[in-house]
Amino acid sequence: MSTSRTVLVTGGNRGIGYAIAERMIADGHRVAVTARSGSGPAGSLTVHAEMTDAASIDAAFTQIEAELGAVEVIVANAGITRDTLLLRMSEEEFTSVIDTNLTGTFRVVKRAAKGLLKGRFGRVILMSSVVALYGSPGQINYSSSKAALVGFARSLTRELGSRGITANVIAPGFIETDMTAALGEDQQKQYLSQIPAARFGQVAEIAGAVSFLAGDDAAYISGAVIPIDGGLGMGH
């Protein structure tokens, strides 16, 4: 059994984030989730936060610190897609995805950093995607935002690695959630035909990897990109 930690999962009211929060509670951690609507699983503290707004993230951290203590494990999971082909993509469609997925992660990790340094312990887990390195038509904005998280985690590892802080990236393939349900049936069939495991992934399969990365056994893993994609992205 790993040491009990204070964990923050962004976007923990549904999908992958909700499953991660459930798993972290089952692992015995103190768990807070951010939500814009709804709430996290039973046993979690739900705080309101908007990833595009540093002040709301700051307020969320202040509330968590007061109720659960300093955040030690950050799972930067909140993210959006706004898919369309390059020639049709507006600058706003590009920058809004970057603002939520990449700059939102920056805002969260920056706010957490002082506390991690003070505690000389931290686990930063960034939710990327197989398309970060595989590429995906119609997702120039999204794949760019997710690829940037690799540089983010590796630079963070070089900045803070000597202080007991690790930073890793999880790159899920096609996981059954609202985000993928929004894809058309044809697109889903096309993905399925390319996945060696011949099935889509389950949210619990992502939560299992997060549980490992947050646990005591993962203390010497940093700057890694962990694919959970049934083999879809092999060769990265």
Catalytic residue numbers, as ranges: 142
Q: Alpha-carbon distance 27 to 138, whole Å?
A: 38
Mutual angle of helices 104-119 and 54-68, in 10-degree steps: 30
Tally of CA atoms within 13 A in the half-sphere of 226 that contains its CB: 21
Give the residue carrying structure tokens 């390319």.
194
* Pairing between β-strand 122-127 and β-strand 73-76 as defined by DSSP bridges: parallel
- 36: contact with ligand NDP by CB under 6 A: yes
Closest separation in Å from C-beta 150 to ligand NDP = 13
Q: Report the alpha-carbon distance of residue 199 to residue 175 in Å, rounded.
A: 9
Least Å distance between CB 218 and ligand NDP?
Answer: 19
Residue 78 lies near ligand NDP (rule: CB under 6 A): yes
Helices 15-26 and 203-214 cross at an angle (nearest 10°) of 50
Least CB distance to ligand NDP at residue 112 (A): 16
Does 177 bind ligand NDP (CB under 6 A)? Our answer is yes
Q: Which of 31, 124, 147, 175 binds ligand NDP (CB under 6 A)?
A: 175
Q: How far is 144 from 142, CA to CA, in rounded Å? A: 5
Nearer to ligand NDP, 3 or 52 (CB): 52
Interface with ligand NDP (CB under 6 A), residue from 1, 37, 185, 193: 37
Q: State the CB neighbour count (10 A cutoff) for residue 205.
A: 16
> Which positions from 125 through 154 interact with ligand NDP, judged by CB under 6 A?
127, 129
Q: Does 179 bind ligand NDP (CB under 6 A)?
A: yes
Name the one range near ligand NDP by CB under 6 A: 66-74, 110-118, 173-181, 213-221: 173-181
The stretch among 32-40, 59-67, 161-169, 216-224 that binds ligand NDP (CB under 6 A) is 32-40
Element (H, E) at 90: none
Judged by CB under 6 A, which stretch of 24-32, 50-58, 187-195, 213-221 contacts ligand NDP?
50-58
How far, in whole angstroms, is CA 120 from its chain's centroid?
A: 22
H or E segment and range at residue 149: helix 140-160
Task: Work out whether 14 is an interface residue with ligand NDP (CB under 6 A).
Answer: yes
Exactly one of 25, 54, 59, 80 binds ligand NDP (CB under 6 A); that residue is 80
**Among 94, 89, 132, 105, residue whose Cα is nearest residue 8:** 105
* Residue from 178, 185, 186, 216 binding ligand NDP (CB under 6 A): 178
Between 138 and 161, name the residue whose CB sits nearer to ligand NDP. 138
The residue type of 128 is S
For 230, left (φ over 0), alpha (ψ -120 to 50), or beta? left
Contacts with ligand NDP by CB under 6 A lie at 11, 13-17, 35-37, 49-52, 77-80, 100, 127, 129, 172, 174-175, 177-180
